[in-house]
Amino acid sequence: MNNFTVDILTPSAIIAKDIPAEALLVPTERGQINILKDHTHIITKLSTGMMSVFGGADDPDRFFSITTGICKVLDNKIMVLANVAEEAGEVSKERAEKALANSESKLKSSDGLSDTQIEKYRRKAERAKLRIQLSEFVRNRNI
Amino acid sequence: MANIKELKKKIKSTKGTFKITSAMKLVSAAKLNRAQIAIQNSRPYAKELEETIKTVSALVQNYSHEFLVESDSRKSALLVISSNKGLCGGYNSQLAKKVREFTANSDEELEFYFVGKKVKDLVKNEVTITKEYTFEKQEPSYNEMVDLSSELAEKFKSGEIGRIYVAYNIFESAIAFEPCVKQVLPMALAEKEKEELRDKFPFDFKYEPAPKVLLDSLIPQTYISSIYTSLLDAIAAEHGSRMSSMDSAASNCKELIDNLTIKMNKLRQAAITTELIEVVSGAESLKG
């Protein structure tokens, strides 16, 4: 029995549309929240983290990496507007590791970087870490 | 009447044109494909974001953001997004027509900003060009658009300009586009629209963090996303328009080549016939 549907949209792609879910875990700015059926109408800001969509008995569970955005819950329809989102299965670990090493080396020799650049690399590193974590998580789950 | 040599030359040059137009068509088709995916993927996001902003700003009381307030400045900015290259049918001329129409009907003092030089060239004698944006690559990147939008937004915030419009072609399908002028700032809602939204949502949302904090970060994002989607629309429309006009150019070329070849063959046949008659009649007269 599925109770509500989830859409995940980003400025450059439709990551998922109308995926059925029984429970949803989203990382918000104030910590992770769990959304179940008939949740109250809510609009909340998301932080960077893993989002889990639990499909219940009939549908698979799906996992996504989410980087900031908002989540809107309205009439058992959940709209996740993220700046960047990726499904866990599509994450390439090597690429994430490369990105992490790259941004960390940039941060180490941080002379000459502007504040916004430092902030940018910090966020990149954070995202890369998350993606590595996510890919490991999925692999462990599948074994 | 043209002689055979001239016709042959013509056929050769038309064949050259045919090759170029069909190659351009293929290139545009590939680019269109990419642009189409980009716009179709970003539209739902932009639409949803805009709707959320509208709903929230209608529901939340006592909130005001500088992007939502009508300013009393009579100056407005019009950002015209056109292409840098020609050979794309009515793409630029139709947009220029729309811009002229808008300028004629507007009682505001308009400042013109251009992305892409084609429409600028078309209207440069009629309007004063405030600024022309150029980009590293052929098409501006997201970050470049963010810079551009922020620059305009700064002017809006300081009260220098009261409104920002964007003129661009909306991508409808590979063969159709629609020139339009859209107001991006202020994002004010008409009272009627507000009423409708309030009727539609008799309850309020729960906000986390407070609605003010949420809107403060979302509104600038919506503004940028709305300008960026206009750009994506314009790019997709450009490639679509170029593809269809190159397609018709290529088929025109083909037709022309066929006609010219028939004409040339006819002439050649006529020349052969005359020569034959001459030979035969010469022989006849010798027999005489």
Q: Report how many Cβ contacts below 8 Å link chain A to chain B.
A: 60
Chain A, 64 to 103: residues with Cβ < 8 Å from chain B are 70, 72, 74, 79, 81
Nearest-angstrom CA–CA distance, A66 and A130:
9
Residue A128 dihedral angles phi and psi, to the nearest 5°: -65, -40
pLDDT value at residue B189: 75
Q: How far is B231 from chain A (nearest CA, A)?
A: 13
Residues 6+ apart with CB under 8 A from B117: B82, B84, B132
Which one of B205, B214, B233 makes the best mutation probe of the A interface by having the most chain A beta carbons within 10 Å? B205
Nearest-angstrom CA–CA distance, A72 and A78:
6
Which one of A26, A70, A71, A79 makes the best mutation probe of the B interface by having the most chain B beta carbons within 10 Å? A70
A31 touches chain B (CB under 8 A): no
Is A37 a residue whose pLDDT tops 90? no
pLDDT band at residue B242 under the 50/70/90 scheme: very high
Is B1 a residue whose pLDDT tops 60? no
A45 touches chain B (CB under 8 A): yes
pLDDT in tens, B55-99: 888 888 777 788 888 877 888 899 999 998 888 888 999 999 999
* Homologous superfamily of the B23-244 domain (CATH): ATP synthase, F1 complex, gamma subunit (3.40.1380.10)
Contact B208 A79 (CB under 8 A): no
Nearest to A12 among B42, B204, B218 (CB): B42
Nearest-angstrom CA–CA distance, A108 and A87:
30
Is B170 in a helix, a strand, or coil? strand
Determine contact, residues A2/A60, Cβ cutoff 8 Å: no
pLDDT in tens, A99-121: 888 888 888 886 777 888 888 88
Is A8 a residue whose pLDDT tops 90? yes
Percent of chain B with pLDDT over 90: 45
B170 touches chain A (CB under 8 A): no
Which one of B201, B208, B231, B232 makes the best mutation probe of the A interface by having the most chain A beta carbons within 10 Å? B208
Is B99 in a helix, a strand, or coil? helix
Read off the pLDDT of each residue in B167-175 and give the average, rounded to a whole number: 91
Nearest to A41 among B44, B203, B217 (CB): B203
Determine contact, residues A79/A66, Cβ cutoff 8 Å: no
pLDDT value at residue B250: 95
CB atoms within 10 A of CB B174: 19
Contact B52 A43 (CB under 8 A): yes
Instruction: Count Cα neighbours of B21 within 13 Å in the Cβ-side half-sphere.
Output: 20
Chain B, 181 to 220: residues with Cβ < 8 Å from chain A are 203-209, 213-214, 217-218
Nearest to B208 among A14, A28, A81 (CB): A28
Residues 6+ apart with CB under 8 A from A56: A1, A2, A3, A20, A21, A22, A23
Nearest to B38 among A12, A42, A43 (CB): A12
Nearest to A45 among B45, B46, B208 (CB): B208
The one-letter amino acid code at B34 reads: R
pLDDT value at residue B28: 93
Q: Which residues of B34-59 are buried (b: 16+ CB within 10 A; e: fewer)?
A: ebbebbebbbbbbebbbebbbbbbbb
Nearest-angstrom CA–CA distance, B151 and B111:
14
Question: What does each C-alpha distance from A4 to A38, A50, A55, A64, A135 come to in angstroms?
Answer: 8, 19, 10, 17, 26
pLDDT in tens, B16-40: 999 999 999 999 999 999 999 989 9
pLDDT value at residue B2: 64
Is A66 a residue whose pLDDT tops 60? yes
